[in-house]
Amino acid sequence: MQKSDNLISKTLARKMLSCVEEYELIKQGKNNRFKTVQDFCKYNRFSRQNFLKIYRRYQNEGTLESLLPQKRGPKYKTRRTDIKIENEIIILRQKGNNRYEIHEVLKKELREFAPSPSSIYNICKRYGLNKLKKQQKQERRKIIMQRAGELAHIDCHYLSKGITIKDYPKLYLVAIVDGYSRIAWVEVIEDIKSLTVMFSVLRCINMITNRYKIHFETVMTDNGAEFGSGKDADNKMDHPFERMLYEMGIKHKYTKPYRPQTNGKVERFWKTINEDMIEDACYEDIEDLRNELLEYLIYYNEHRPHQGLDGKMPIDFIPKS
Most confident of 1-10, 104-113, 240-249: 240-249
Domain ranges across the chain: 2-67, 76-126, 152-317
Pairing of strands 184-189, 171-178: antiparallel
Which of the four pLDDT bands, split at 50, 70 and 90, describes residue 231?
A: low
Q: Which CATH number fits domain 152-317: 3.30.420.10, 3.40.50.10480, 3.30.1490.20, 3.40.50.720?
A: 3.30.420.10
* Mutual angle of helices 99-110 and 83-94, in 10-degree steps: 140
251 φ/ψ angles, rounded to the nearest 5 degrees? -75, 155
More confident residue, 190 or 39: 190
Which strand ranges, in their side-by-side order, compose the sheet holding 218-221?
184-189, 171-178, 152-159, 218-221, 251-254
Which of the four pLDDT bands, split at 50, 70 and 90, describes residue 142?
A: very low
- pLDDT score recorded for residue 258: 60
Q: Which H or E element spans position 153?
A: strand 152-159
